[in-house]
Structure 1
Amino acid sequence: MGDADIDYNIVFPDSFITERHWKASKEPVVILLGWAGCKDKHLAKYSSIYNERGCITVRYTAPLKTVFISESFGYKELSTIAYKLLELLYDYEVENNPIFFHVFSNGGFMLYRYMAELLRSHGRFSTLNVVGTVVDSAPGSQNVTGALRAITASLGPNVNIVLLYVLLALFACMVFLLRIVLYSVTKYIHKNHYDAMRDHPSSWPQLYLYSQADRVIRHKDVEMMVKAVQEKGVTVDSFDFGTSAHVSLYRDYPEEYSSRCLAFLSRCMQTAVGTQKKRLSVAN
């Protein structure tokens, strides 16, 4: 089942684990959106945090070209992918379960932006019950240096050095021209992920995990986003891990990272249940 055009992984936990943690309520479906260049074996480590808590997990990482090329030129390929990922919930008949996002770096956040827009505006998806989002090492805004570091890390150490420098030079010129110099005009055609989510944030609770030592995503960008979302009246928590490199928070602090994510998920689920009870009481 599902869409053969996208390379995703879905994991259903053992029923006894689900029953132990969620009892009679429906278990959450956690959608994990990987960073650019993320391998599924790495994303699976995060998935296991939630599987061991009895959650269903869906893992997906957008192709490099859609993150670094299509988005920079304003081609909304990620919007199509976002639609297909949300369709999976219906394919696997879990559209009535609580939905929870775990998003990594700008690569995951760009895709999450389109999913959030569909959840807000699309008739079918607007009925899905999203309870919360964890954002890891994102989002960043107009940081060409950080983007170049992200590309270098994504391509890996085996790429030809001459080709690497040519690609980096072309990408830097393209991003600087389209996303900085001409952005005052191009934003009316295609607003970047940071501005789009700052201006129209998701309405459900959010947790931002980041580090001042991150050399790809500036901590000030994350903190400014947190403040902007809070000013919109959305429930937002954040935590600075201080010394970790980009998307290395879990590697450096596995116990604290896991406990913060799971505690946040539990709070989101409790809030969702409380909201549902209020609606039922009003209806009666």
Structure 2
Amino acid sequence: MVFFSESFGIKSLQTPAKRLLELLFDYSMENRPILFHVFSNGGVMLYRYILEALHTQQPFKSLRVVGTIFDSAPGRRNLRGGLRALETVLMSTNVLLKYLLLFSFAATAVVLRIVLYPLTRLVHETHYDALLRAPSRWPELYLYSHADAIIQASDVEQMSEARQRLGLSVKAVDFSDSAHVSHLRAYPAAYTNLCRTFLSDCVQGSPR
């Protein structure tokens, strides 16, 4: 879903996003403060549809979201980063199948994202652009690194700055040398403290 259907405009993650929100009601969490912790662009793709449901569908509109943490995300369309991410996912896959999938992904991406981009952008807004204009106004924390080989630090910085200009409470922390979604592993104390402080501030600052 993440590497093929979603990357090329098929909204396959809409259903899992709705099911995830429905679980909050199944576990009687609908009246408690909710914080999203979003990892990489795969998490961003799912989060995009969660946001849409939160702002357009009942009973999700009543959920009390207090903040969002982005870990190694979001990033713009990046063929090199996408290939690296897919290669990581396929690490234990048969070598022939792995390279067949990598080639298929690269070839399709070149056609749809470069050759046909003037047409595809009219019918499918990128997940990055959707987040830029997202209607959510709760605080956001961005945890990223300039050493990330999959998500460019400049993409995260541009997003955090754009959201801040909209009046949101935004904080961005650059871990400098930790790898993609490895900031907790590299800096467990600092990462944990940032998340705990952010959660505490969000809950205390949200309406009861």
The normalised TM-score by structure 1 is 0.71
Q: What is the identity, as a one-letter code, of the residue corresponding to 2:166?
A: K
* Structure possessing the higher radius of gyration over alpha carbons: 1
Tell me whether 1:154 sits opposite 2:89 in the alignment. Answer: yes
The residue that corresponds to 1:80 in the other structure is: 15
Inter-partner Cα distance in structure 1 for 2:57 and 2:137: 15
RMSD: 1.3
- 1 or 2 for the larger relative contact order (CA 8 Å, sep ≥6)? 2
The counterpart of 2:3, out of the listed 68, 74, 79, is: 68
Q: What is the identity, as a one-letter code, of the residue corresponding to 1:240?
A: D
Cα distance change, pair 115–178 in 1 and its aligned pair in 2 (3 A): same
| Structure 1 outlier segments of 4+, above 4 Å | none
Number of aligned residue pairs: give it: 208
Structure 1, residues 179-235: CA drift from partner, whole Å, max 9, x if none?
A: 333233222322121111112252110000000000000001101111111122211
Inter-partner Cα distance in structure 2 for 1:98 and 1:160: 44
Inter-partner Cα distance in structure 2 for 1:201 and 1:214: 28
Q: Residues 210-225 of structure 1 correspond to what in structure 2 (within 5 A)? A: 210-225=144-159
The normalised TM-score by structure 2 is 0.95
Aligned with 1:68: secondary structure? coil
Shift, 1:72, TM fit: 2.1
Tell me whether 1:204 sits opposite 2:138 in the alignment. Answer: yes
The residue that corresponds to 1:95 in the other structure is: 30
The residue that corresponds to 2:118 in the other structure is: 184
Aligned with 1:73: secondary structure? coil
**Structure 1: which 5+ runs fail to align?**
1-65, 277-284
Inter-partner Cα distance in structure 1 for 2:135 and 2:61: 15
The answer as to whether partners of 2:75 and 2:151 remain within 8 angstroms in 1 is: yes
Structure 1, residues 19-57: CA drift from partner, whole Å, max 9, x if none?
A: xxxxxxxxxxxxxxxxxxxxxxxxxxxxxxxxxxxxxxx
Aligned with 1:228: secondary structure? helix
Shift, 1:239, TM fit: 0.1
The residue that corresponds to 1:112 in the other structure is: 47
The answer as to whether partners of 2:51 and 2:134 remain within 8 angstroms in 1 is: no
The answer as to whether partners of 1:142 and 1:180 remain within 8 angstroms in 2 is: no
The answer as to whether partners of 2:146 and 2:176 remain within 8 angstroms in 1 is: yes
Cα distance change, pair 235–226 in 1 and its aligned pair in 2 (3 A): same
- Greater shift, 176-185 or 118-127, is seen at 176-185
